Structure formats: C-alpha cells, structure tokens
Structure 1
Amino acid sequence: MPKKPKKAPRLPQQPIDRLVGPLRRFLNIEASSGVVLMFCTLVAVVAANSPLSEWYLGLWNTEIGFSFADFEFRHSLKHWINDGLMAIFFFVIGLEVRREVVLGELRDLRQAALPIAAAVGGMVVPAGIYMAMHVGQPSMRGWGVPMATDIAFVVGCLAILGPRVPHNLRILLLSLAIVDDIGAIVVIAIGYTSDLDLSWLVVASVGIVIVHLLMRVGVRRIPVYCAVAAWVWFAVHESGVHATLAGVMLGLMTPARAYLSAGAFRKLLRRVGKIFEGDGWESRRHRADTVRSMQNVTRETISPLEYLETTLHPWTSFVIMPLFALANAGVPLQLTDLNHPIAIAIVVGLVLGKPLGIVLFSWLAIQIGVARLPGDLNWKMLSAAGFLAGIGFTMSLFIAGLAFGEQGLDTAKVGVLAGSAIAVTLGMGLLWRTLPKPVERL
C-alpha cells in the first residue's frame, strides 16, 4: 500500500486557535462559499423588499473616490465593487483558466472536447432562445444574460450530493464552468464594450508589456506587480473596455510552473538544517534576514499561479462575491416582473436552454467522434447536470448590469433569480433521483 503523505508540522496551539479553528474548518468546506453567497442573496432580496429598502438600495449609490488638482475619480460604491473588486474575481478566473489549460483537464484537447462542446452548447442555445424571443427589440441586448453558469453554486450543490457524484461528472461540470467563464469573458469584451478610447488601450498595453518584461528578468516581488496591475486596471477602465478584463489578462499571464525544483529545494533544506544544528543559531547574526530568505525560498517551490490562486480564492469566495451579491441581488420583487418578456426569456434560457444546449452539443460531439462519454456517466446524468448548469447568478447578474444599465435591470434580476432558483431545484432533484445510491455500510 502506498504510504500516506506526512502532515505538515504545526505550531503549538494557542487559545485563539480554539475560536478560529471551527471557522477555518467551515471555510475549507467546498460548499461553504455557495452557502455564504446564498445567505447574502437572501439578505439583499429581503432588505430590498423591507421598510429599509430605500436606505439599502441608496447605500450602494454612495459616491466614493478621490481628487487631485483638476483630476477627479469618483464612482458609486456599487461601481467600485463591480469594476474594482470584481477585477480580482476575474483575475482568479484567469488563473483557473490558465491552470486548466496548462496543467488541468483542458490541456488535452481530446479529453477536453466534451466539456468544451457542452459549454458551447450551454451558451449558444440560451442566447439563441433569448434573441429569438426579442428579435428586433432594444431588449435583445440582454442575449448574454442566460449564457452564464455560476461555478460557486454548482460546486456547492455537488458538495451537498457528496460521494454519489461520479468523479467524471464532477470534472465535466467544473471544466464546463471554466469554459463557460471563458465564454462570458469573450461576451463581455465583444458584446458589451463601446466608445473605445484607443489612447488608454495603448497605455494599458504598455502596462501588460511591462508585466511581461518583469517576469522575463525574474522579478519576484508581488508589490511591484500589484503597482503595475493597478496601472493596467485604471487604463482599461478609462478605455471603455470593462475594467474586469484587466484582471483576466493578468491572470492568464501568470506563470504556471514553479521557479525552484523539488530537488533543489531538498538541497536547500539540508543546508538550512545545518544552520539550526548545535548552538550556532542562537548566536548567529542577522537571523531575521536568514528567516526572510528561507520564507522566500519556500514560496518559490510552488508556482506563482498556485500561490496566488490559493491566497486569493478565499477572498473572492467569502468577501468579493458576497459583497457583489449584496450590492446587485437586491431587487424590489413585483409579480408583474415575472410576466415581463425580459424575465421570461431569461428564465427559459437558463432552465430549458442550458440543459438542451449541453445535451445537444455533447451528443453531436460524440456522434462526429471528437469526444466520448465517460464510462461511469449516462445521458440521464448529463441531462440532470445540464439543469444544474442553469444556475446563472453571479455572471448573469454581472452581464445584466452591463446590458441594461438602470432601465430594465430590475426585471432582468428577477429573471436571473427565478431562473437560477428553478434550475437548482430541478438539477438537484433530478441528480438525486439519477445518481447511484450510496452503498450502506454494514
């Protein structure tokens, strides 16, 4: 039997660890981010339909910014979240996409063919349904809203179903969501960008070139990259392209390989061990510099991509996305909105278009021989998973804000919330009935 990997050494436990420990364990549960996101969504919806509605909705319109001489940069709190903090969220998406393409399930085109086909179908068919229902109308601009899949909710649902979910189905859905994110990025860049300022795009391009040069010459200091990233973000923001795309570009550029090999690190560890042998460490000069050097060397044993993704993922899952939900999911609910053509088209796109597109394009990919259905999956499972992929939420709300602005946005939000709620109910119900029952232990 293979030996179990040794656990990493831990520091002696302190009293505060007894308080922080349960929270840390909660944050490490796969479904936790989905739970937090759902809670914040409910808070936003309840607050927007309570006596505090006017205060709550007005809070996100509070102007925040700074001025310097004749230059002024002020925007609403909601704008800072949607264009600023969400750029970090999109940076993490860029990291995930690069990891999957370089190291993950998408690196092998043959293996990636099925999730790519399913994702394309899950975007094209809902968009086509929406456009067909609004052809020739100004509201057709919302065609991108029902295309998205919310990976946080999907992961949370899969975690709730637990070991009943076959490994290949889990991989298929997660890969599909990653490809879906790529599609959403393309949709935002092409479909919802106008009034381009080429001079600011040139400034942003210079920043991207500087990032590339910094990596080529071996700069490792994260604050340096943060400063250039802020430059790129500001330039993209002023160019007319949505500022979050700056995060995607920088994420895709992040190196996916470690700078220091495992063999070289082992040699360094042996050298470090000799430093601590005997009584020499206590009398050694410049110990702080030595410790700092060891910290830097340790960090180099994993890739910048892995380090940044691991560091930022809790912040995006438990801070940025919940804030986005609080700022964007709050909508005064009116029954008339459910009968509005915009809401109906979004619901139909998410609930029916998603599973139809996923199954249809998967079937076509298998029939023409570019993909195959894994042995532990069947069409019933794939169809049920297709309904689960209709949970649009974060990306759908984000694109709705770009598509409609203030006019028609509340109606689109109602459609997204209703469609996502129906999708999660159908998806979980069908998966619960379709997936193999857990084996009872005697």
Structure 2
Amino acid sequence: MIDKLASLPHEAADTLARPFARFLKIEAAAGALLFLAVLLALGLANSPWHRVFLDFWETRIGLTFGSWDFSRSLRHWVNDGLMTLFFFVLSLELKREIVLGELRNPRQVALPLAGAVGGMVVPVAMYLTLMSGESGMHGWGTVMATDTAFVIGCLALFGNRVPPTLRLFLLSLAIFDDVGAILVVALGYGEALNWSALGLGLLGIGAVASASRLGIRSVPVYSLIGAGVWLCIDASGVHATIAGVILGLMTPTRVWVSDARLRGILGRLLAHPAGEHWSGDTTERHDLLQAGTAVTESVSPVERLEMILHPWVGFAIMPIFALANAGMTFQGADFQQTE
C-alpha cells in the first residue's frame, strides 16, 4: 500500500502513453525523424508536385497596415523564427555546461572556440585563393557556416554511442561557428541596419536582465519580452536567431528554492493530518500550492526550459526545418557533344 501511494495514480491512458514516452526519450528517434524529413523533402522536390511544394514555402505570412509591411515567407518564419527556439535550447545546454559542467574550465572552452574559428577562417582563405579575381569572390561567406541543426541530428542518430565529451565538443563548436557566421552575415552581407529597431531589441534584452534581477520568475512574462526582442532584431536586419542565442545564455542556472528549503516546505505540508481538506481558502491549500511552486523552483530555469522545449525542437522544429530547406531539385545533364 505504501509503495502504491508513493507514486502518481495510474490511468488507462498510461498504458499507451508510457511506450510512446519511452520512444521520445530515445535521442536517436529525433535524428531518424530528421533524416526521414530530408528524404521526404528531396522526394517532393523531384516529384510532379515539386512546383506546389517549393512555392508553398514562399507563401507570404504576416501583418500589413497601410505602408507598413511585416510579412515574411513561410521559409523565413521557419529559418529565423522556429530555429530561434532551436538555438535557444542549444544555448541553454551550453550555458549549463559553462556554469555547472565541463566547460567551467576556460581551457575546455578554448578548444571548440579555436576549432570554430579555424573552421571559418580556413575555408574562407581557400575560397578567396581559388576565386581570386573572379566575379564570385564576394561569396566567401557561404563556405564558413556549419549547419548546426543537421550536425546535432547526425549526433542523435548514433545515440549513446557518441561519447559525451565528443558531443559537448561538437555542440560547442557548432554554436561558436554559427554565432560567428551570423555576425559575418549581419555585418558583411546584411542590408542597411535599422538602428531604431536594433535599439528597441537591446532595450528588450535589458528588460530581461532587469526582470531577472528583480526576481520575476514568470515564464509568460519572459516569453512575451523575448518575442518582442525577436521581432525587433528581425526588423533591424540582423539575423533573428541571434536573439535565441543571447536569451539562452542569459537564462539563470541557479535554483530559487534550495534543497533545505524544499524539505522544510514539504515537511510542513506533510504535518497536516490526512484527509480531503485541500480545497477552499484554507491554510492546508495555501501550503499545498506553496509546495507545488517549491518543487518546480527547485529545478533551475535552464534545466526546466531545456526539458520542456527539447522534445518540441527534436520532433517538430528540426523536421520542419529539413522540409523547408532540403528540397533540392535534381536535373539531368546532357553529356552529348555538339558540333
């Protein structure tokens, strides 16, 4: 009886939900889904419906008020909108490792940082050497970026066979590389920056820092400010996914409720006599709600957000990203000689 009461009640739906939950815990499943999305995108792009499929991602979605137009293609919303959450989750993991994990040692950070810099500088140097004097020389920025989403997807395919240290190295390298590529695109290839929008975005980032200092812990509040930051940065002409990187690195790693305080709050709750007296405006109900908050806040915001968003990124955002970008059309080549 004690063992049964020490766990959550069992419902009929759990019989179906638990096997599905075990499937979701397999990291390789996200990589396999990404691989299937790539195959589907390639298949549709080279099928009789290729024009409908490719035009679908160019559909304009947004708001227009008179001369003010804030509409983007569906592919833009995927690449700069949904992928912001992808970079946000990667930055959460990187922040956790920098503060609490193996990257606390600056020497551990130096290797992936050096690898990222080398991975950008060497391809650019080779490109400029080969294209010296050619019309395409200005395209040097296209060879320096690593597709982080597919790097992480490939790692996920191997599951536990990838050593944690190797995964952490590649994760750090991919993030450093992507941040560098975003800066290069923004500074070297971007259009004229909208400084007003960029200034509003920086104010939003300052508002996030101020709210954290004041002790505000409401996820909806930060989500609303974060959405505003994204809109401002996107309107400024800077690659909007940088907002996810910045906000992820700003997320606190410190728990609000310590282990000792949690035990004290739960102890006070358990001191109430057994019975169904948790409803109404009572001391027991207040202690119950406080215990629920304490349990939630005993996990750091970084880990809590990572647990919430990771399944959405792995099983929804990454496959959609692959569908939007992997649709390459192959055309036959004519090798016959002409006179």
Q: Which TM class, normalised by the smaller chain length?
A: 0.7 to 0.9
Structure 1 position 313 matched with structure 2 position 307: no
Counterparts of 1:50-65 in structure 2 under 5 Å?
50-65=47-62
The question of whether the paired residues in 1 share the 8 Å contact of 2:229 and 2:243 is answered with yes
Change (3 A) 1:204 1:302: same
Match of 2:102 in 1: 105
Structure 1 position 182 matched with structure 2 position 180: no
Q: Secondary structure at the match of 1:89?
A: helix
Q: Secondary structure at the match of 1:31?
A: helix
Match of 1:158 in 2: 158
- 1: CA distance, partners of 2:279 / 2:321: 52
Change (3 A) 1:329 1:255: same
- 1: CA distance, partners of 2:208 / 2:255: 18
Change (3 A) 1:305 1:172: same
Match of 1:322 in 2: 319
Change (3 A) 1:263 1:43: same
Change (3 A) 1:335 1:258: farther
- 2: CA distance, partners of 1:308 / 1:198: 31
Counterparts of 1:110-121 in structure 2 under 5 Å?
110-121=107-118
The question of whether the paired residues in 1 share the 8 Å contact of 2:141 and 2:184 is answered with no
- 2: CA distance, partners of 1:244 / 1:85: 9
The question of whether the paired residues in 2 share the 8 Å contact of 1:61 and 1:77 is answered with yes
Q: Secondary structure at the match of 1:15?
A: coil
- 1: CA distance, partners of 2:104 / 2:332: 46
Cα distance, 1:157 vs. partner? Answer: 3.9
Change (3 A) 1:322 1:71: same
- 1: CA distance, partners of 2:124 / 2:157: 24
Cα distance, 1:294 vs. partner? Answer: 2.8
Counterparts of 1:34-433 in structure 2 under 5 Å?
34-68=31-65, 71-136=68-133, 137-138=135-136, 140-145=138-143, 147-148=145-146, 150-159=150-159, 162=160, 167=163, 170-193=164-187, 194=190, 195-275=192-272, 277-279=273-275, 281=277, 285=281, 291-334=288-331
- 2: CA distance, partners of 1:183 / 1:49: 32
Cα distance, 1:118 vs. partner? Answer: 4.0
User: Which amino acid counterpart does residue 8 of structure 2 have in structure 1?
Assistant: L
- 2: CA distance, partners of 1:9 / 1:82: 45
What residue ranges of structure 1 are gaps of 5+ in the alignment?
A: 1-5, 337-442
- 2: CA distance, partners of 1:266 / 1:98: 28
- 2: CA distance, partners of 1:125 / 1:329: 26
| TM-score with structure 2 setting the length | 0.86
Change (3 A) 1:123 1:33: farther
Match of 1:403 in 2: none
- 2: CA distance, partners of 1:45 / 1:62: 19
User: Which amino acid counterpart does residue 302 of structure 1 have in structure 2?
Assistant: V
Cα distance, 1:280 vs. partner? Answer: 6.5
Q: Deviation string for 1:224-243 (max 9, x for gaps)?
A: 11111111111101111011
The question of whether the paired residues in 2 share the 8 Å contact of 1:45 and 1:332 is answered with yes
What residue ranges of structure 2 are gaps of 5+ in the alignment?
A: 334-339
The question of whether the paired residues in 2 share the 8 Å contact of 1:90 and 1:247 is answered with yes
- 2: CA distance, partners of 1:326 / 1:9: 45
- Aligned-pair identity (%): 40
Q: Deviation string for 1:274-307 (max 9, x for gaps)?
A: 23x3336357635766544332221110111111
Q: Secondary structure at the match of 2:274?
A: coil
Q: Secondary structure at the match of 1:12?
A: coil
User: Which amino acid counterpart does residue 285 of structure 1 have in structure 2?
Assistant: D
Change (3 A) 1:335 1:301: farther
| TM-score with structure 1 setting the length | 0.67
Cα distance, 1:180 vs. partner? Answer: 2.4
- 1: CA distance, partners of 2:116 / 2:15: 44
Q: Secondary structure at the match of 1:313?
A: helix
Change (3 A) 1:115 1:247: closer
Count of residue correspondences: 323
Change (3 A) 1:146 1:153: farther
Change (3 A) 1:66 1:197: closer
Change (3 A) 1:288 1:39: farther
Match of 2:336 in 1: none
Structural RMSD (CA)? 2.6
Q: Deviation string for 1:304-363 (max 9, x for gaps)?
A: 111111111111111111111111111101355xxxxxxxxxxxxxxxxxxxxxxxxxxx
Change (3 A) 1:40 1:99: same
- 2: CA distance, partners of 1:49 / 1:293: 57
The question of whether the paired residues in 1 share the 8 Å contact of 2:268 and 2:287 is answered with no
- 2: CA distance, partners of 1:279 / 1:29: 40
